[in-house]
Amino acid sequence: MAGEVAPDASTLRPTQDQRGLSKSQAAYQWVKARIADGSYSPGYRLVLGQIAKELGVSVVPVREAIRMLEAEGMVTFERNIGAQVAMIDPREYEITMQTLSLVEGAATAMAAPLISVDALRRAREINDEMADTLAHFDPASFTRLNLEFHSVLFEACPNPHILDLVHRGWNRLRALRESTFSFVPGRARESVAEHSALLDLITGGADALQIELSARNHRLATLDAFLAQQAQANAPAQKGADQ
Amino acid sequence: MAGEVAPDASTLRPTQDQRGLSKSQAAYQWVKARIADGSYSPGYRLVLGQIAKELGVSVVPVREAIRMLEAEGMVTFERNIGAQVAMIDPREYEITMQTLSLVEGAATAMAAPLISVDALRRAREINDEMADTLAHFDPASFTRLNLEFHSVLFEACPNPHILDLVHRGWNRLRALRESTFSFVPGRARESVAEHSALLDLITGGADALQIELSARNHRLATLDAFLAQQAQANAPAQKGADQ
DNA sequence: GTATTTCAAATGATATACGATCTTGCCTAT
DNA sequence: ATAGGCAAGATCGTATATCATTTGAAATAC
């Protein structure tokens, strides 16, 4: 089965912390965690009986858990065939970034009038920290700080649906890419500058549309940098022959 | 139990058309259809054993079906208590319209370069039909044509995630309101005019942002008309005393 | 050697039984 | 009249057993 990885055998049973959960909820969280941490990679076959044995429960709650994951799109579940972790569309990163640019731009604009002075100061501090890390660049840290920065700006969005879509977008990115910045290192420096400009717009009380487009284009610029890098990496063999 | 309505006893068993479905899938579709058509209204208690009896299956596939609906947010399912149809947030219409204005605006703009001449002609015909119905106004017909019109404009959107969000928004609106136009009848005439202007932008090859904002603001104008009507309907008792 | 058939094993789907939990109504004490 | 306790009934959650379907390996036919 393509993409199949042996599951990690550690932490197999519901812990004491999960005493208040039904077995199906515990199974749901267990499987979801393994998908999120990569133990179960895209295409991996989820064998209900095995999972049930590992968790020490019957297949009935495991089936319920898989149904929930199916409804969330994380798993495909075919009658009489079984379940597997959903494959990732090769264009998924691009589609997700496009969608996120839209909803995050709007969330940032809607949140702007509601952000406290303290929060804005915090955002500047994070961006300064990001600038500091450029000298000895670690993509994982930069990416973590990047989310932290943007979270300050969008979490005050008053529309819970849009905010939820932003969260989903970020979660999906995490599953797709540990960090884009490892692929396009030069992008990090530009990002920090764009953050600063975005903060200036917000603190300067700029027009909502301007803020929205700035936040959106910031995300799209990261996508563009990645796509440009990919196009270069996939250049025709003639380029390679020159070297 | 608040909002409880007796379920419609017709069409209780999976039909021959559903032979290829698992029992859990059939139960899922059955319950989902009853929520969609209002037989199971918000807050209605879904008793697993009853549904199983009505469908002629055991509770096991019914539980799987409810898990899927839970993951989609249509149902709340509490351990040892049971399941009920999710309640509707009083602000849901506003939140949904805001979100839809955002994603539909973007979908319309992204689809614009991809719409065929035939499709654009079809959109104009629908809008003309909508204008014709203004003389003897029927909100339900107008709303149906309205969706048809907008579908022509957004279905060519190349980003499947954004398109899915548009579909979800329209589905959600359908569940919340049969038709906004029954509440704000004057809005229909303005809508038709705005459709025409939007079509002019698209056929004129206007800038994507202009198209997006036009489509978004069109949806927001309907929301604003509704909210203004609500505010007027809830005016203080003094107003009533004057009359 | 290749294609087809057969069969056993693995896995899926779900009914039934049973223990767990919650709700409701009745009774008793204050 | 109100509060608390208890039991019965309703319902939930899940283990187990059983039947259904699929998969893969071995045997057979050409």
Task: Select B92-233's CATH number: 1.20.120.530, 1.10.3720.10, 3.90.1150.10, 1.10.760.10.
Answer: 1.20.120.530
pLDDT digit string, tens, across residues A105-124:
999 999 999 999 999 999 99
pLDDT for res A151: 94
Tell me the CA distances in angstroms from B94 to B166, B173, B185, one per residue in order.
Answer: 15, 10, 18
pLDDT digit string, tens, across residues A176-197:
766 677 777 788 888 889 999 9
Best of B22, B29, B59, B64 to substitute, by most chain A Cβ atoms within 10 angstroms, is B64
Q: Are A227 and A189 in contact (CB under 8 A)?
A: no
Q: Kindly indicate whether the domain formed by A16-85 is annotated with CATH number 1.25.40.10.
A: no
CA dist B131 and A8 (Å) reads: 63
Distance of CA B176 to the CA centre of its chain: 7
CB contact under 8 A, A102 and B99: no
| Domain spans of chain A, in order of start | 16-85, 92-233
Among residues A225, A234, A236, A233, the alpha carbon closest in space to that of A94 is found at A225
Encode chain B (243 residues) as per-residue pLDDT tens digits.
333 333 333 333 333 333 478 999 999 999 999 988 888 988 899 999 999 999 999 999 999 999 999 988 889 999 999 999 988 777 888 999 999 999 999 999 999 999 999 999 999 999 999 998 888 888 888 888 999 999 999 999 999 989 989 998 898 888 776 667 777 778 888 998 999 999 999 988 899 999 999 999 999 998 888 888 877 776 654 333 332
pLDDT for res A230: 78
pLDDT digit string, tens, across residues A25-35:
999 999 999 98
Q: Work out the minimum CA distance from B239 to partner chain A, whole angstroms.
A: 31
Query: Residues whose CB falls within 7 A of nucleic chain D?
Result: A 22-24, 52, 57-61, 64, 80-81; B 46-50, 59-60, 63, 77-83
Among residues A112, A94, A113, the alpha carbon closest in space to that of A104 is found at A112
pLDDT digit string, tens, across residues B191-224:
989 999 999 999 888 999 999 999 999 999 988 8
- Is nucleic acid strand C under 7 Å from B57's C-beta? yes
Among residues A181, A179, A166, the alpha carbon closest in space to that of A215 is found at A166
Residue B86: how many CA atoms within 13 Å on its side-chain side? 19
- The continuous run of DSSP H or E covering A56 comes out as none
Phi, psi for A205 (deg, rounded to 5):
65, 35
Long-range CB pairs of A183-188 (<8 Å, 24+ gap) are: A183/A226, A183/A229, A184/A222, A184/A225, A184/A226, A184/A228, A184/A229, A185/A137, A185/A139, A186/A225, A187/A221, A187/A222, A187/A225, A187/A226, A188/A130, A188/A134, A188/A137, A188/A139, A188/A142
Tell me the CA distances in angstroms from A80 to A48, A83, B22, B59, one per residue in order.
Answer: 12, 9, 9, 19
The model's confidence at residue A11, banded by pLDDT at 50, 70 and 90, is very low
Cβ-Cβ contacts under 8 Å for B47 (sequence gap 6 or more) = B82
Q: Reply yes or no on whether the pLDDT at A9 is more than 50.
A: no
Cβ pairs bridging A and B (under 8 Å): 69
- Is nucleic acid strand C under 7 Å from B50's C-beta? no
pLDDT for res A41: 87
Could you tell me the two tokens for B98?
């805001």
pLDDT for res A143: 85
Q: Work out the minimum CA distance from A55 to partner chain B, whole angstroms.
A: 19
Å from the B21 CA to the C5 C1': 29
pLDDT for res B209: 93
Q: Reply yes or no on whether the pLDDT at A173 is more than 50.
A: yes
Q: Give me the DSSP letters along B148-163.
A: HHHHHHHTT-S-HHHH
Cβ-Cβ contacts under 8 Å for B229 (sequence gap 6 or more) = B183, B184
pLDDT for res A165: 92
**Is the torsion defined by CA of A174, A180, A185, A186 positive or negative?**
negative
CB contact under 8 A, B72 and A67: no
pLDDT for res A92: 86
pLDDT for res B234: 67
